[in-house]
Amino acid sequence: MSFPDLAYYLPQKATCEEMSLYGQRVAERYDDATLAVLAGFPRLARLELLHHHISRIPRGLRTLRHAWIGQSPRLATLEGIEDAALLQGLQLSNNPALDLADAFERLAGLSELVYLTLDGEHARELPAAFARLPKLAHLELVYTPNLDLDQAFAMIAKVPTVRVLKLGEIVVPASIGALSELRVLTVVAKGTLPDELGALAALEELHLPKATCKALPSSIGKLSRLSVLELYYSKVAALPDEIGECRSLREIQARSSALKALPESIGRLAALHTLDVYNTKLKKLPASLGALENLRVLELSYDRPLEVPEEVYRLSLEKLTGPQEMVDRLVLRRLPTPDTGEALYDEAERLPDDFGNVVSLQLALHTHSAPIPQLARLPRVEQVTIDTGDLDDAFTRLAGAERLWRVAVLGERDTLPGSIAKLTQVAALDVDSGRWGDSDQPGTLRALPDALGELAGLKALVIKRHRLTEPPEVIGELASLEKLSLQTGELRALPRSIGKLQRLRELTVQGLTDLHLPDELACCAALESVTLYGGWGPSRIDNLAVLGRLPALRRLWIRYVREPQDWAGLLAALGGSAIELLDLEYSELGALPAAIGGLAELRRLVLEHTGIQELPPELRACTALRWMSWSSYQFSEEGRAQLKKQLPPGRWRKQRRDRVEFYERTA
């Protein structure tokens, strides 16, 4: 992967705010004289300089707020850093010639510095000037193998503003106890943790990832403010009984650790919300776990034997990972709680008697499930999700739920029952072939029933991952419909009856391969947002120009349409309209038609991966344009220079990961 060199940034010096010069090749490793040009970047706020031949910091960086200076073997002084009076964050990584005493004398004059990283084998102690850093709050010493930790901790203790300390792989000395004001400590601890850890009275988060210690000191019980304990991938095999004294503890994250047991005292952690012991060596849960009324997330290994005391089944959880038999029992156990408002009902023949307060209900019914009479007695239910099972009975019984406004139907369906007409109170209907946990399972629903037209109050209809082939003309009967989303790969045309939908504001068709837009679409007077997405294969849209006759159209997305289209006809039809956003990402244009100049209200234009290599001069007529993006490989250096002449002054940015460039108007 290559990164931009200095020449890339020079043409944008007036607006450039971020710069990364990594010096991967020798020709891109700059010296002090070359980097003196950085003083001419009036808005530069973030700078990364790695692998360069600098001996000091470039002068004149008065707007700099964050800097990363590393792998610079000739850097001996931070002379010049005093110009960066606004500097808030600084990373100094492996600069072996750097005089730390001189460096911290200069840093002490930076009143806004709050974040500092110091890495390298040359760091042996923290200079006296470290104590004069007025606002330092976050300090990282991740790779400093030769640092005198006792001296360093004594020095850190003199800076009461330091709240966050991140250390690398070290043997933690007893002197850690001097950091009584620390709020967050991260350390890859080797050996035994000292009892002095309990002296960190203000500590709120203790992160011990990959720690090699096998136990925590009993003094951890003194950490009355501790809310997060992380032991990911650590060798810690057991928690001390004193952990029960950490009454503020909300999270124990011990995933993939060597943990073998939990103490009974864990039942005294009244504030505990999350316990993650997934992929550990636990064989038994303590009975006291069932006393944790605030525990909502429990992550256990599901593929290992685990003894679960009966008391644990009292828990009222929101998320559970664990052995299947435990999941089944706990999920059912939490249903009757009157004040939860949510419920998941799975594989049973009746709901609990005190089910009336449920607001959001998920029915995971299988085809052998019996009818559920309690569905007719849910006065507060507002949302219901049904995964397979007897839809006809469910729809009939839900007809009396006066507050019900959303129904989602998951799983494969050949048809929807006529009883759907009884859900006249429903405002949103989702029909998705994918069951929970599935993402690409194709459905078998090929048509919508005429009974759907009885839902006079329906405002949103989503058909997802089903195989609708014929235009669903019944949609035209849904006079209140405001949102229509058809995510199906086999639909050949939109229904002509769509023109009756005078309230339709948002239309989405995804996965299209060969779609016809009827002339009647132009009658949708309120339609302001249209999204048309092709699939991964060849795709085309017939009669695109009808979109130009939509009087309220403001936003248009046409993506992944890779077959030749009448783009010129579309833009000509849109001319004079009030469209503000045009997104053509991954659609094959080849060239942007001159008719783009007719979009006087256009504010946002997306041309990423469209094959366009130059823009027409008519683009200048888009005087309202504020934002544009394109793929960096689309334009040559000459084309990019021409582009900047066509557009008003603005900020130009590049996102290296996705090879995308952005323009944002500033004038």
User: In whole numbers, what is the pLDDT of the chain averaged over residues?
Assistant: 86
- For residue 437, what pLDDT is reported? 38
Instruction: Scan for tokens 């971020």, then name that residue.
Output: 18
Please state, in angstroms and rounded to a whole number, the distance separating the CA atoms of residues 202 and 413. Answer: 57
Question: Is-contact 234 215, C-beta < 8 A?
Answer: no
**What's the alpha-carbon Rg for the chain, to the nearest Å?**
32
Identify whether 219 is part of a domain.
no
Closest of 535, 486, 545, 499 to residue 514, by C-alpha: 535
Name the residue type at position 226. L
- For residue 328, what pLDDT is reported? 59
276: pLDDT strictly greater than 80: yes
The residues facing 320 across adjacent strands are 298
- For residue 273, what pLDDT is reported? 94
Question: Is-contact 225 248, C-beta < 8 A?
Answer: yes
Alpha-carbon distances of 576 from 12, 603, 605, rounded to whole Å: 33, 14, 16
Lowest mean per-residue pLDDT among 135-139, 146-150, 312-316, 378-382: 378-382
Domain boundary among 467, 500, 531: 467
The residues facing 606 across adjacent strands are 583, 629
Q: What is the mean pLDDT of residues 52-56?
A: 93
- Looking at the structure of the chain, the number of domains it has is 2
188: pLDDT strictly greater than 50: yes
Please state, in angstroms and rounded to a whole number, the distance separating the CA atoms of residues 255 and 236. Answer: 11
Instruction: Scan for tokens 């200095």, then name that residue.
Output: 6
Please state, in angstroms and rounded to a whole number, the distance separating the CA atoms of residues 532 and 507. Answer: 8
385 vs 52, higher pLDDT: 52
Identify whether 264 is part of a domain.
no
Closest of 82, 81, 83 to residue 92, by C-alpha: 81
329 vs 71, higher pLDDT: 71
Closest of 568, 524, 518, 515 to residue 550, by C-alpha: 524
| Structure confidence by residue, pLDDT tens digits, 598-656 | 999 999 999 988 888 888 889 888 889 999 988 877 777 777 777 777 788 888 777 75
Q: What is the mean pLDDT of residues 145-160?
A: 96
Question: Is this prediction's pTM over 0.85?
Answer: no
14: pLDDT strictly greater than 70: yes
Please state, in angstroms and rounded to a whole number, the distance separating the CA atoms of residues 427 and 467. Answer: 23
- For residue 663, what pLDDT is reported? 84
DSSP category for residue 561: -
Please state, in angstroms and rounded to a whole number, the distance separating the CA atoms of residues 580 and 553. Answer: 9
| DSSP-assigned states of every residue in 386-412 | EESS-HHHHHHHHTT-TT--EEEEES-
- For residue 399, what pLDDT is reported? 84
**For residue 241, how far is the Cα from the chain centroid?**
37
60: pLDDT strictly greater than 70: yes
Q: What is the mean pLDDT of residues 104-131?
A: 94
Q: Which helix H or strand E contains 189, and what residues bound it?
A: strand 184-190
Please state, in angstroms and rounded to a whole number, the distance separating the CA atoms of residues 549 and 81. Answer: 59
Closest of 225, 224, 231 to residue 208, by C-alpha: 231
Question: Is-contact 272 297, C-beta < 8 A?
Answer: no
Domain boundary among 442, 467, 492: 467
Lowest mean per-residue pLDDT among 137-141, 209-213, 514-518, 655-659: 655-659
| Structure confidence by residue, pLDDT tens digits, 350-400 | 455 444 555 555 554 443 344 555 555 566 677 887 775 678 888 887 887
245: pLDDT strictly greater than 80: yes
- The length of the chain is 667
- For residue 411, what pLDDT is reported? 76
Closest of 116, 174, 176, 178 to residue 142, by C-alpha: 116
Please state, in angstroms and rounded to a whole number, the distance separating the CA atoms of residues 136 and 129. Answer: 12
Identify whether 183 is part of a domain.
no
Helix residue spans in 554-646 (DSSP H): 567-574, 637-646
User: Residue 469 phi/psi, 5° resolution?
Assistant: -110, -40
Identify whether 664 is part of a domain.
no
| Structure confidence by residue, pLDDT tens digits, 423-435 | 999 999 998 876 4
Q: Which helix H or strand E contains 462, and what residues bound it?
A: strand 460-464
Q: How many CA atoms lie within 13 A of 473 on its CB side?
A: 2
Please state, in angstroms and rounded to a whole number, the distance separating the CA atoms of residues 36 and 83. Answer: 13
Closest of 548, 540, 486 to residue 521, by C-alpha: 548
Q: Which helix H or strand E contains 206, and what residues bound it?
A: strand 205-207
User: Residue 312 phi/psi, 5° resolution?
Assistant: -65, -25
Identify whether 50 is part of a domain.
yes
CATH for 406: 3.80.10.10
516 in the Ramachandran plot: left (φ > 0), alpha (ψ -120 to 50) or beta? Answer: beta
- For residue 365, what pLDDT is reported? 44
Residue 303, number of CB atoms within 10 A of its CB: 8
Domain boundary among 104, 127, 162: 162
User: Residue 529 phi/psi, 5° resolution?
Assistant: -140, 125
- For residue 514, what pLDDT is reported? 87
- For residue 216, what pLDDT is reported? 96
Identify whether 486 is part of a domain.
no
573 in the Ramachandran plot: left (φ > 0), alpha (ψ -120 to 50) or beta? Answer: alpha
User: Residue 96 phi/psi, 5° resolution?
Assistant: -60, -25
| DSSP-assigned states of every residue in 557-592 | EEES--S---HHHHHHHHTTS---EEE-TT---SS-
User: Residue 431 phi/psi, 5° resolution?
Assistant: -125, 110
Identify whether 22 is part of a domain.
yes
Identify whether 156 is part of a domain.
yes
Question: Can you tell me whether residue 420 is helix, strand or coil?
Answer: helix
Q: What is the mean pLDDT of residues 20-29?
A: 79
580: pLDDT strictly greater than 60: yes
Please state, in angstroms and rounded to a whole number, the distance separating the CA atoms of residues 510 and 433. Answer: 15
45: pLDDT strictly greater than 80: yes
Question: Is-contact 189 170, C-beta < 8 A?
Answer: yes
Please state, in angstroms and rounded to a whole number, the distance separating the CA atoms of residues 283 and 307. Answer: 6
Structural domain of 7: 1-162
Question: Can you tell me whether residue 486 is helix, strand or coil?
Answer: strand
| Structure confidence by residue, pLDDT tens digits, 406-461 | 888 887 778 889 999 999 999 999 988 764 334 445 567 888 899 999 999 999 99
User: Residue 659 phi/psi, 5° resolution?
Assistant: 55, 50
